[in-house]
Amino acid sequence: MTLEGIAAEAAGHALAVSGAFHPEPGDGLPEGTGTLLLLSPAEPGFWAHLTAQPEWLDGRANPIDRWSRRVIGKMACALGGKAYFPFGGPPWRPFQAWALRSGRAWASPVVFLVHEEMGLFASYRGAIALRERLVLPGPAVPPCEACEARPCLTACPAGALTGRGYDVPACHEFLSGPSGADCLDRGCAVRRACPVSAGHARLQVQSAYHMRLFHR
């Protein structure tokens, strides 16, 4: 069992191993867990793969969560591990803390997680805890350290998401008005402004789907 082999298996489901670490006491995982793997949408291609799956086509609620449970759950069983998900709690799992522990994601200037490859589009569909202690790469360099322009700080047209934090009510108020159509249709302007996000861009229909779930 290797990280590379698991990543290849995940790629067949349009998923990527977006972080991993060796848990310690306080990480919220059972004693004896050797490695925790975080799984995220692999772009480009995730949306096309997802929308061809039975969970999307059956017309029932929560298709992405149901697909994640099926696919990641089967992967975990095949590896002799346990699957965890950032939905369906309680108990709620500390996915943000796990992402930070992985050395592949950090707090951005606008507080949201920024990932070395996903940028501000960082998201996690699940995690797999293994008994084995896999060989892992060393920590990466936070992309914000080399980003002099930091466009995320000024990209929000509503002024709701800045270095001062996230004013969620102001965001929803803006999205409810005519000026909010661009963000509703194309995704959060701040996430799109991140230079790293540009290399991991979502399809417009994908962003619109998530934005409408957020703003309903």
As a whole-number percent, the residues of the chain with pLDDT over 70 amount to 100
Please tell me the distance from the alpha carbon of residue 25 to that of residue 58, in angstroms, as a whole number.
41
Pairing mode, strands 165-166 and 126-130: unpaired
Looking at the structure of the chain, the number of domains it has is: 1
User: Contact, 21 vs 136, CB < 8 A?
Assistant: yes
Which pLDDT belongs to residue 165? 94
What is the pTM for the complete model shown? 0.95
Note if the bond before 91 is cis, omega within 30 degrees.
yes
DSSP 170-197: HHHHHHHSGGGHHHHHH--HHHHH-TTG
User: Contact, 197 vs 119, CB < 8 A?
Assistant: yes
Average pLDDT, the chain: 96
Query: Which of these, 87, 83, 105, lies nearest to 96 by C-alpha position?
Result: 105
Please tell me the distance from the alpha carbon of residue 193 to that of residue 198, in angstroms, as a whole number.
8
- Tens of pLDDT, residue by residue over 37-90, are 999 999 989 999 999 999 999 999 999 999 999 999 999 999 999 999 999 988
pLDDT at 91 over 90: no
Structural domain of 144:
3-215
Q: CA dist 44 to 5, 20, 107, Å?
A: 20, 21, 24
Q: Which residue spans within 131-175 are E strands per DSSP?
A: 161-162, 165-166
Sign of CA dihedral 190, 192, 195, 199: positive
Please tell me the distance from the alpha carbon of residue 46 to that of residue 11, in angstroms, as a whole number.
10
Mean pLDDT in residue range 7-34: 96
Q: Compute the residue count for the chain.
A: 216
